[in-house]
Amino acid sequence: MLSRPQYATPFLVTLGLLVGSAAHAQVPISAATGGDSLSLETTIRSVLDANPAINALQEEVNQAQSRLDQSRTSLRPIVDGTVSFTRVDPVVKIPLAGETFQLAPANNYDGHVTARYTLLDFGRANAAIEAARSRSLTAADNINVTRRDLAYAAAQTYYGILFAREAIRVQDAQIVSLRQHQREMEKRVEGGVSTQFDVTTTQVRIAQAQDRKIDLQNQLRNQEIQLARLLHRPEGEAAVVRGRFEYQPQAVNVQEALAKGSENRPEVKLAKDAEQTATALLRVAEVGNKPSLGLLAQAGGKNGYIVPNLERVRFNTVAGAQLSIPIYDAGRNKLQRLEAQSAIKGAQARSQDTQEQVRADVLQAVNNMQTSTARYDNSQVQITQASDALTRAKARYRYGVGSNLDVLDAETQLAQSRLSRLQSIYNYTLGQYQLRRATGEQIW
């Protein structure tokens, strides 16, 4: 049996979605027809195809990939060219045997191409590449998390609208039945077999049913406004959703669901990414103070050679090697290793917590589905009993052996039983999506 706080279940959707398929015209919700409506699949797919949050995360993936490509360049040679001019004044001149010899030109020209290559760095470049690759995987997995949450939010709103519509139909049926009963009361008052009190009591119940309908209409309108926002359309312009709101039970293997969630849940992958990144950063720190051996080759032209002509630009080459050995860094590398080791421990703790959260999410989703199944079965029994009670109450009242309140109570009980069935269907449907979300199964 539903009270008002129960059937006015809030539908919390916090992530923004973009517009749906361009094939659907933008018309006011209240005036939209079947041709303007959106199915669940169409809504979710159009949301995922153009959502700005996903686009922003995709740019982060592109940035991470660019950083990975940048780190790979350390394995390749670096070539650059340099052209310089230097004016030296005065220049050194030496008198010798009646002549003057100039040791360097006043105008110095130098142009050369230099190639540098790190021959050996004891794994420093590879460690940096591995860390960049791990960050790139993390950025890609973040997209999967966002897409899943967006799809779940869209499904939640979609079924929220269907639930509110069906609940309004239940209230409409109750109001029609109560008004029919009111007309019968009025005829009995005219015939002198009932009092005006019975009519007034019926009118009170009608007003109460209308009040519940107003609440449901408000809930429906809020969901439609939410859908318009999620689709990035004006509040008064959005295509209505279409679909069937029905109970479709499924068998659930709990152990299989737990194993699937532990393996496929994107949060688990993110936790593993964090561990890999922390391990890669530790490796970077471990090789950060290793020696490095680099080669250099240079070719170009410059003047300043004394023989045979000081001003003549001549071709020249330079080749060399450089061994760099870190000696003292004030303990910085040691602190970097300690930081990386702490990051690994933190990532491992988060991985364990994530696995526990996955287990809890799966069990809660299964529990919600089982509870909703039990409530659905119970509501079916309640509907049968309430329908029979209403039929008997009307018959007893018609023959003067029952009261008007018995009829009104039976009407209310039947409506509440039908609402309870709708609520159980809605809860079970959301439970199915909660389970898919908990196990890492795609919702879209």
Residue 153 · residue 43 · CB < 8 Å:
no
pLDDT value for 405: 87
d(C-alpha 175, C-alpha 210), whole Å: 7
pLDDT over threshold 50, residue 319 = yes
SS3 95: strand
d(C-alpha 206, C-alpha 182), whole Å: 9
DSSP state of 382: H
Q: Pick 20 or 149 by higher pLDDT.
A: 149
Residue 58 · residue 80 · CB < 8 Å:
no
Element (H, E) at 314: strand 314-324
pLDDT over threshold 70, residue 210 = yes
The residue among 170, 160, 172, 169 whose CA lies nearest residue 241 is 160
- Say which CATH topology domain 40-325+348-439 has: Outer membrane efflux proteins (OEP) (1.20.1600)
pLDDT over threshold 90, residue 54 = no
Residue 329 sits at φ, ψ, to 5 deg, of -125, 20
Is this model's pTM higher than 0.75 or not?
no
DSSP for 253-291 reads -HHHHHHHHHHH-HHHHHHHHHHHHHHHHHHHHHTTTS-
Of these ranges, 141-150, 152-161, 411-420, the one predicted with the greatest mean pLDDT is: 411-420
Over residues 250-262, mean pLDDT: 91
d(C-alpha 344, C-alpha 337), whole Å: 11
pLDDT over threshold 70, residue 424 = yes
pLDDT over threshold 90, residue 16 = no
pLDDT over threshold 80, residue 380 = yes
- The residue ranges of DSSP E strands in 97-242, in sequence order, are 99-102, 107-120
Number of H helices, E strands in the chain: 9, 6
d(C-alpha 396, C-alpha 380), whole Å: 24
pLDDT over threshold 70, residue 42 = yes
pLDDT over threshold 70, residue 427 = yes
Element (H, E) at 319: strand 314-324
pLDDT in tens, 19-38: 232 233 333 333 333 334 67
Quote the longest CA-to-CA distance of the chain.
152
Position of tokens 């991985």?
351
pLDDT value for 91: 86
Q: Where are the domains of the chain?
A: 40-325+348-439
